[in-house]
Structures are given as structure tokens and as C-alpha cells.
Amino acid sequence: MKNRTPEEGLTALTDDAERNRLLAEMAEQSTDMISRHTPEDWRFIYVSPAVTHLLGYTVEEIVGISAYDLYHPDDVADFRLRAPTVNYDRGLYTHTYRFRCKDGHYTWLESTSRTIRDPETNGIREILVVSRDASHRIKADKANRRLARVLESTQDLVIFVNLDFTVSHLNEAARTAFELEHRDYSACPLSWFVTEKGFATLMDDGFPAARKTGSWRGELAMRSLNSIRIPVMLELLAHRSLHGDIEYFSLVAHDLTEKAAAEEQLKQYQADIDHASRLVTMGELASSLAHELNQPLSAMVNYLRGIERRFANNPTLSWDDVEVPITRSIRTALRAGEIIHRMMDFTRKQEPVIASLNLPELISEMIDFCENMAERLNVRIVFEPPSDVTAVRGDKIQLEQVLLNLIVNAIEASASADDEIVTTVRISVEPHDSGQLRVEVEDQGKGISEADMSRLFDRFFSTKETGLGMGLAISRSLVENLGGELWAENIAAGGARFSFTLNMTD
Ligand code: ADP
């Protein structure tokens, strides 16, 4: 005997009563809600017990009620529109709609309805409906749609990539950034939209890491079809199926173009301020430097006048007679030239050059530079260079700027108008943490008040009448850029100590 399908089995049952009993039993045990309705107003003729679990009503409560009374008002019109299809066309249809539960809230049901006709008259006898809870699916669909809207409208570039590294979907931001608005991008290789270097990074690091751990994050450059570079922060995700195989990848790229431009602008701005501040420091030193230049110039005039006088009295003079004043005036002219060179170097605008620098030599040069100012303000600068070789990494002009700021501040803080009172500014170089040196500049001034201490390194904080208040702020950022720290403290004996650290050259 050939195997029958369950339905054929049922139809084969000759005993109508037995058939109905079996059907009723299946309905009673089903977790789906099975119901029978009158064709006109969809009154419940029968409902399976699943109604209680699904909608909260007992079977007795709902039998006799029209389903129209329980549809969501917004769905009723839709229902009436579709009803003829159920009745007259195909006789079967599936519909998702809201239905009122006993507690008053609406839940989503997905129902398949079938018309049962009288075999003799072909008139509709009743409607048989199988319904199940669709609220989870509707919720998930809604969440997916919401997610899709977010992906579509975010400013970040979202790219879906197949396992063969071809693009399957781009959101609007990505289509715009890659200049693809009017082009079909499906199956374009991802490499079209990433710079060569960036693509190598993705292949060597990104994809292997995402395969292993599920995600990877890194900075790289993408590019548009017209080769416009787009620096991005990229998040790469591997998406797996329920069985654990990777199905596709998604890339969410945050465009850093504006950030890069802002950083460049900030760097430029910082460089301008550094330069302006050097000019101001030089301005503060100008009167002392003028004085310093004046000295060699008048010395030279003296030497030359001496030579002139000797020639006037004795025109037959030999080289031996004038050698000393001439070599001296050459030396003083060279010294004056050095001062001018230093001023020019210091005030020139130029890109920093990081190199190995002899720190004690740099300090001695800066002390020389400030010596005249110190003398004028009755300050003595003391520096005993350490015996070890002490080379640090840094840019010469930047370090000169830091040292000059601290030394000039220290001189100004301990200045005295009384020639009898000479104070000391002490500079020292000590080993700090491993691999670092610490420079200390101590003065014998009034020190720093508690209130000022917290604002000392703020831009434009100054207690001086003509102060710009940029020196310490700039010095700290220069030192930090070189990997060091700059801080201030008061000394118990009176006065302040400014210290900063620098990395030694390996
Ligand atoms: P400026 O010298 O133009 O005021 P700075 O940033 O170099 O700007 O210094 C800010 C402020 O810090 C100074 O106005 C002063 O009040 C304080 N300061 C700096 N160095 C010392 C110091 N050695 N002793 C006491 N106060 C100091």
C-alpha cells in the first residue's frame, strides 16, 4: 500500500465523527490558535485553548464575539479590503495585524485564513483561521528597519564586504565620499576605495584579526574614485552565521579629514604663538643685548683708535706693534657677530629639527645670553656643568626657548634695584628617572603664591605689568612634546624652583 499524506489519511477516514474528533484533538493541542468564524462578521464559532496563552481570553469568553470588535481600529479598513480575496478569489491568505488582548493591549498576530465551502452549494460555510504571535518578529523587523535607517543616515562611511573582498553595500555617506552617486558599485573590489598602504594594512592585520577575534580597529586612509584621500578611523567587524562561519564583513569608517585639518591648523597656530613668544622674549632681552653689542663695538673703536694713534706718531710701525690690538678687535667683532647670529637664529621661524644636543653647552650659551640682563638687575647666575656627558634629544631652538623663559623669569623674580644686594639664580642638571635628565632653575625671589601656583601654566596668566603670560604655557607644551615634564615648586629657603625633564640620547 502506498504511503498516504496525513491529509489523505484524514480524508480517507470514512467516519466523519472520527475525523472531526481527530481534528479537534489536534486543534486543542496546538500552540497556534485555531479558530472558526462565520463568513459575514467573523464571529468566533470555535477557538482552540491556545487563545488563553496568546490573548488572555478563555474559550467561553471569546466564542460568539466578532473578530472585527477586536481588530485594531487602524487595521479594520485594511481587513475589509482584503476580505473578498479570502472569500472569493484564492480562498487562502496570510495577514499580519493587531488584535486586542483581554488586558486591553494590542498584540501582533500572523494568521492564515481559509474559506470552507459547502461541497453541494459551493457557498461559504465558515472561515478556518490559524494564528500565531507575530509580535517578536514585528519587533525584530522594526529594530532592523530602525538600524538600517541609522546606517543609512550616519555620517560615518558604512561598507559591507563579501568574503572575496568585493563590496556588497555602501551607505549614503560612503557613496558620497567615494564619489559614486551615479555609479553601480556592486561587486567593486574594496581595494578601489582604500589606499594601497591602507589595503595592505587591512590584508595583513585587519582581516586576520577580525577573523580571529571578531573585530579590528585602526587608522588608515581610504580614497574616492577620483583619488581624493580620506583619512579614517576604521572599525572592521566579521559577521558570522549561526553555524559560526564568517558570512561577510562590515567596515565603519569615521572620516578624520576635518580632524586632520583642525590638527594641522592647531599646529600652525601653536607654531605662530611659539614664534611670537620668542619675539617677545627677545624684546625683553633687547635692551640688555643692545648693551652687550655696544661693549664689543666700543672696544673695537678703542683698539682701532689706538692703532690710528700709533701710526700717527710713528708711521714706520711693524706688524708686531699692531698685532695684539688687531687680533683683539677681530675677536670682539666675531663675538658681536655671534650675538647677532644667535638673535637671528632664535627669532627665525622654522620647522623643529630633533637632534642630539649637548645640554650643559646649551645652558652655558643661554646664560651668556642673559648675563648682561642679570648684571643690570643685580643677579648672579651660577651653573656648574656636570662632569658626565649629557646629551639629550630635542630641537635646539625649542630648548633654548624653554631655558631662556625659565632663566629670564628667575632673573626677573629675584631682581633687586639695590646694587649692594646680589641674589643668585642657580642652574643644575641631575639624572632623573632612568633615561632622563632633570634641569632645575632656582631663584631667590618671593616664590609663588598658592593661588598663582594652579594658574602658572595657563595661557595668558601673568602677574607682570608688561607680561604676555605665554612663556610657561609654551615651555610646558614644548617639553611635553619631547616626552618630558615641566613643573614648579617653592623652595623652603625662599624662592621658586622650576624643573623639567628630557630624554637622554641613547
Ligand atoms: P610672563 O613672564 O610673560 O608673565 P610666564 O608664562 O613666563 O609669562 O609666567 C607667568 C607667571 O608666572 C609670571 O607672570 C609670574 O607671576 C609667574 N612666575 C614665573 N616664573 C616665576 C618665578 N621664577 N618666581 C615667581 N613667579 C614666577
Taking the CA of residue 462 as reference, the ligand 1 atom at the shortest distance is: 14
Q: Which domains does the chain have, with CATH numbers?
A: 25-140 (3.30.450.20), 154-255 (3.30.450.20), 259-351 (1.10.287), 352-506 (3.30.565.10)
**CA 190, CA 170: separation in Å to the nearest integer?**
11
If you take atom 7 of ligand 1, which residue's CA is the nearest one? Answer: 471
> Which contiguous run of DSSP H or E holds residue 124?
strand 124-133
C-alpha 389 to ligand 1 mean position (Å): 31
Taking the CA of residue 472 as reference, the ligand 1 atom at the shortest distance is: 6
C-alpha 408 to ligand 1 mean position (Å): 9
The DSSP-derived string for 5-31 is PHHHHHHH---HHHHHHHHHHHHHH-S
pLDDT at res. 35: 93
Task: Calculate ∠ Cα 16-17-19, nearest 5°.
Answer: 65
pLDDT at res. 469: 82
Residues with CB under 6 A from ligand 1: 405, 409-410, 413, 443, 445, 448, 452, 456, 461-464, 467-473, 496
C-alpha 464 to ligand 1 mean position (Å): 8
Place of cell 614644548: 478
**CA 462, CA 470: separation in Å to the nearest integer?**
8
**CA 230, CA 216: separation in Å to the nearest integer?**
19
> Which contiguous run of DSSP H or E holds residue 132?
strand 124-133
**CA 382, CA 442: separation in Å to the nearest integer?**
10
Is the whole model's pTM more than 0.85, yes or no? no
Are 50 and 111 in contact by the 8 Å Cβ rule? The answer is no
Taking the CA of residue 468 as reference, the ligand 1 atom at the shortest distance is: 3
Rg (CA), the chain: 45
Residue from 275, 269, 230 nearest 251 by CA:
230
C-alpha 441 to ligand 1 mean position (Å): 13
C-alpha 471 to ligand 1 mean position (Å): 8
How many Cβ atoms sit within 10 Å of the Cβ of residue 332?
19
Spell out the residues 6+ positions from residue 168 whose beta carbon is closer than 8 angstroms to its own. Answer: 160, 161, 162, 186, 248
C-alpha 486 to ligand 1 mean position (Å): 14
Taking the CA of residue 467 as reference, the ligand 1 atom at the shortest distance is: 3
Going 165 to 167 to 170 to 174, the CA torsion angle's sign is positive
Taking the CA of residue 410 as reference, the ligand 1 atom at the shortest distance is: 23
Looking at residue 8, the DSSP 8-state letter turns out to be H
C-alpha 405 to ligand 1 mean position (Å): 9
C-alpha 185 to ligand 1 mean position (Å): 61
If you take atom 23 of ligand 1, which residue's CA is the nearest one? Answer: 410
Looking at residue 206, the DSSP 8-state letter turns out to be I
Please state whether beta strands 33-37 and 44-47 pair in parallel, antiparallel, or not at all (unpaired): antiparallel
If you take atom 13 of ligand 1, which residue's CA is the nearest one? Answer: 462
Looking at residue 387, the DSSP 8-state letter turns out to be S
* Substitution candidate for ligand 1 out of 404, 456, 491 with most atoms within 8 A of CB: 456
- Starting at the earlier edge strand, list the strands of the sheet with 246-255: 167-170, 157-161, 246-255, 229-240, 215-223
How many Cβ atoms sit within 10 Å of the Cβ of residue 218?
15
Taking the CA of residue 464 as reference, the ligand 1 atom at the shortest distance is: 14
Task: Calculate ∠ Cα 329-335-337, nearest 5°.
Answer: 105
Looking at residue 89, the DSSP 8-state letter turns out to be I
Taking the CA of residue 495 as reference, the ligand 1 atom at the shortest distance is: 24
Kindly give the confidence (pLDDT) of every residue in the chain, 506 residues in length, as a single tens digit, with 9 standing for 90 and above: 445 555 555 555 456 677 778 777 888 888 899 999 998 888 999 999 999 999 999 999 999 999 999 999 988 887 777 666 555 555 677 888 999 999 999 999 999 888 888 888 888 888 889 999 998 888 888 888 888 888 888 889 999 999 999 999 999 999 999 998 778 888 899 999 999 999 999 999 999 999 999 999 999 999 998 899 999 999 999 999 888 899 999 999 999 988 888 888 877 777 777 777 777 777 767 766 776 677 778 888 888 988 898 888 888 888 888 888 899 888 888 878 877 877 777 777 777 788 999 999 999 988 887 887 888 889 999 998 888 878 999 988 889 889 988 999 999 999 887 878 889 999 999 999 888 999 999 999 999 999 999 999 998 899 988 777 888 988 998 899 899 999 999 999 899 999 999 999 87
Taking the CA of residue 405 as reference, the ligand 1 atom at the shortest distance is: 7
What one-letter code names the amino acid at 248?
Y
The end-to-end CA distance of the chain, in Å, is 94
C-alpha 436 to ligand 1 mean position (Å): 25
pLDDT at res. 1: 42
Angle between helices 471-481 and 257-313 (to 10 degrees): 110
C-alpha 414 to ligand 1 mean position (Å): 12
Q: How far is CA 417 from the centre of its chain?
A: 53
**CA 16, CA 156: separation in Å to the nearest integer?**
66
* Substitution candidate for ligand 1 out of 427, 449, 472, 497 with most atoms within 8 A of CB: 472
C-alpha 468 to ligand 1 mean position (Å): 10
pLDDT at res. 14: 52
C-alpha 463 to ligand 1 mean position (Å): 7
**CA 216, CA 208: separation in Å to the nearest integer?**
9
Beta strands in 23-123 (DSSP E): 33-37, 44-47, 92-100, 106-117
C-alpha 406 to ligand 1 mean position (Å): 9
C-alpha 456 to ligand 1 mean position (Å): 7
* Substitution candidate for ligand 1 out of 274, 377, 401, 409 with most atoms within 8 A of CB: 409
If you take atom 12 of ligand 1, which residue's CA is the nearest one? Answer: 456
* Substitution candidate for ligand 1 out of 462, 477, 491 with most atoms within 8 A of CB: 462
